[in-house]
Amino acid sequence: MIKVAIVGATGYTGEELVKILVVHPGVKITSLSAKIDKPAFISELFPELKGKIELICKEPDLDEVAQNADLVFLAVPHGAAMQLAPPLLKKGKTVIDLSADFRLKDASLYPRHYKFSHQAAEFLAEAVYGLPEMYREKIKKAKLIANPGCFPTSVILGILPLAKKKLLDKSAPIFIDAKTGVTGAGRNVVLNSLASEAKENVKAYKVGQHQHQVEMEQILAEASGSELKLTFVPHLIPIQRGILSSIYLQLKDELKEKELWQIFKDSYKDEPFVQVLDLGHFPETKSVRMGNFCRLGLYAKGKVAIAISAIDNLGKGAAGQAVQNMNICCGFSEDEGLI
């Protein structure tokens, strides 16, 4: 049994963490905190938790958090975790950060892509990127885990097997058409993400300048051994949760569809939360809703390959993957508490 704290428990991701961890057999939630007007029982904020957990959620006190927890989830906005993580790490706590504050290895990228200068750059080198399908062995020993972004999770898993085997034509761009539900914007009021505004509408946003692109490029360059060119266009669609990424890839040599499928199947055969669908079948967001799975569908013709990836942005794209990382670093079965 480990004791865990959640800082940022009232956002969509924090709420999802509470709901997963409250039924996890190896976890006791000992502290819940958030930027909140006044302390309140978490079951008052989320009535579906009534009778399952009766902790009070209040403003974060890091000394109290550290005293009561072995592991701390930071489900806070970008720019906040770099202030919170260092004192917790210095007290010997394991930290899983769900923001972008420790995902990028180059501190100089933060002002351009996140509009702030990094205040804890000395911790970037020790942070482990929390994608189990690539960094599982490092996650086992990590004290600071940078949980991946939702778009990068869906995209990287759709490219990783080909990048590792160096089968991509690196002179050709990879085109990514990705669609996300409105919870991807977080719980803060953002006009364009309100249900009434998003209803009956599909829109592209941050074209050519989405902050997740640099994260994808960093990880895929490491996997392939050299830089890959990405063209990433995200779209907001009128669903609550889910991401569907259509990824268009140029291959160095022709591959038959069955060969492409076998490469992905072999790459993910031991992965508990990646499912490669049979040829002719493609994933949909409702098939991964409320869970931690990434489902992949594949197509190939000549030197062109298409990978279609579906995840739940709050599951495998955030809280579910964070719990998967906790399970790995704490020695639990990797799928404990997850569906």
Residue 257: which of 245, 265, 247 has the closest Cα?
265
CA angle 126/13/63 to nearest 5° reads 55
Q: Is 329 a catalytic residue?
A: no
Cβ count near 113 (within 10 Å): 17
Catalytic, out of 57, 150, 294, 329: 150
Q: Which two tokens stand for residue 239?
A: 């669903």
Rounded CA gap, 102 and 311, in Å? 22
Residue 95 amino acid letter:
V
Rounded CA gap, 120 and 123, in Å? 6
Cβ count near 160 (within 10 Å): 22
The distance from CA 230 to its chain's CA centroid, rounded to whole angstroms, is 19
Rounded CA gap, 119 and 129, in Å? 19
Contact partners, residue 294, CB within 8 Å, separation at least 6: 153, 154, 157, 273, 274, 275, 288, 309, 310, 311, 316
Rounded CA gap, 244 and 260, in Å? 20
H/E stretch holding 263 reads helix 257-267
- Partner residues linked to 248 by β-bridges: 175, 306
What are the distances in angstroms from CA 272 to CA 114, 119, 240? 32, 36, 25
Cβ count near 265 (within 10 Å): 15
- Residues carrying an active site annotation: 150
